């Protein structure tokens, strides 16, 4: 026993090093877990409030572009208002009200910290538990998708960006409806990859890729990007598709958090399926 203590004491530098690396590994593992939010995370109040302070000082730089985007989006939304449609049959219009149930709720949020240059990127938004934000909600902008909410604190939430090694989103080709999986292989933040589109499907450069709505996180038909290039290895069953993201993740500033009202119901239903 005495020799053991002496041994540890003699190599205390090495053992302390191991101890600290162990602590770091524990933090990494607990934080990488998708479902459970860990004790220490970037959405905690202190660090987020410093980032938010720095954000207010750099706020004004991109304002022209932001205004332009907002004006464009206003114009688009205005065209969707009931007043923008011609009504041919009043009774039918009223019938729609009782048949349709609200499926997705949107809340606007501001990005207070953004990263796009790492292999695994996260964002922090200025909405949290106070605004009833929950993990696994989708985050989109006016012209594309951004990511999925991970941890939520009182005033802030962290978002796993599309630019993340674990990000895998259900997408579809607009022309023919075939679905695939969107991943990001690192490097260029303007290019993503689409897998699992079968080789017999006819696709072209410039085809639009939309969300498929299968995951119930994002609504169906949100723009993701366009096909920049594609190839087919001899004998392969699926295309390799390079996708140009419609969002410039370097410039994005304002986003919408999407809440699927019936998602809980869907998840419970899926769970009963898994149990059997």
**Residue ranges that bind other proteins, judged by CB under 8 A:** 12-14, 16-17, 20-21, 23-29, 31, 38, 40-42, 44, 46-47, 50-51, 54, 113, 115-120, 122, 124, 158, 165, 185-189, 250
Residue 148 Cβ vs other proteins, minimum distance, rounded to whole Å: 14
Residue with tokens 């690396």: 21
24 vs 269, which CB is nearer to other proteins? 24
Q: Which is nearer to other proteins, 78 or 118 (CB)?
A: 118
First to last CA, the chain: 54
Tell me whether residue 16 or residue 95 sits nearer to other proteins (CB atom).
16
Query: In the bound complex, what is the minimum distance in angstroms from residue 4's beta carbon to other proteins?
Result: 20
Nearer to other proteins, 103 or 191 (CB): 191
163 contacts 121 by C-beta, under 8 angstroms: yes
User: Shortest gap between Cβ of 48 and other proteins (angstroms)?
Assistant: 9
Which of 17, 106 has the CB closer to other proteins? 17
Of 146, 149, 120, 125, the residue nearest 37 (C-alpha): 149
Dihedral (Cα; 113, 35, 103, 268), 10-degree rounding: 180
CB of 81 to other proteins, least distance (A): 38
Shortest Cβ 106–other proteins spacing (Å): 24
* CB nearer to other proteins: pick between 12 and 176: 12
Q: Closest distance between other proteins and the C-beta of residue 17, in Å?
A: 4
Compute the distance between CA of residue 179 and CA of residue 172 in angstroms, rounded to an integer. 4
State in angstroms the smallest separation of the CB of 14 from other proteins. Answer: 8
What is the 3-state secondary structure of 217-257? CCCCCCEEEEEEEEECCCCCCECEEEEEECCCCCCCCEEEE
Tokens of 6: 């002496």
Nearer to other proteins, 16 or 269 (CB): 16
Contact 134, 149 (CB under 8 A): yes
Residues 227 and 241: beta-carbon distance below 8 Å: yes
């Amino acid at each position: 026993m005495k020799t053991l203590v002496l041994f540890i004491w003699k190599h205390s530098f090495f053992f302390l090093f191991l101890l600290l690396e162990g602590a770091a590994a524990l933090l990494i593992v607990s934080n990488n877990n998708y479902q459970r939010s860990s004790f220490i995370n970037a959405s905690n109040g202190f660090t987020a409030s410093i980032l938010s302070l720095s954000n207010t000082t750099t706020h004004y730089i991109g304002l022209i572009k932001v205004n332009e985007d907002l004006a464009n989006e206003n114009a688009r939304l205005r065209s969707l208002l009931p007043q923008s449609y011609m009504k041919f049959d009043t009774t039918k219009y009223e019938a729609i009200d009782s048949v349709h149930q609200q499926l997705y709720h949107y809340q606007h949020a501001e990005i207070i910290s953004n990263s796009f240059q790492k292999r695994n990127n996260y964002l922090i938004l200025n909405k949290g538990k106070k605004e009833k934000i929950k993990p696994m909600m989708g985050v989109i902008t006016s012209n594309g998708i951004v990511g999925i909410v991970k941890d939520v604190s009182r005033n802030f939430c962290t978002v796993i960006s599309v630019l993340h090694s674990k990000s895998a989103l259900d997408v579809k080709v607009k022309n023919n409806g075939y679905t695939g999986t969107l991943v990001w292989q690192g490097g260029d933040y303007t290019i993503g990859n689409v897998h699992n589109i079968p080789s017999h499907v006819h696709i072209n450069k410039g085809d639009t890729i939309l969300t498929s709505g299968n995951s119930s996180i994002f609504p169906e038909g949100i723009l993701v990007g366009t096909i920049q290039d594609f190839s087919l290895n001899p004998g392969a069953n699926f295309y390799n598709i390079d996708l140009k993201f419609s969002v410039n993740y370097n410039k994005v500033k304002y986003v919408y958090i999407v809440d699927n009202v019936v998602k809980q119901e869907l998840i419970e239903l899926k769970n009963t399926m898994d149990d059997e």
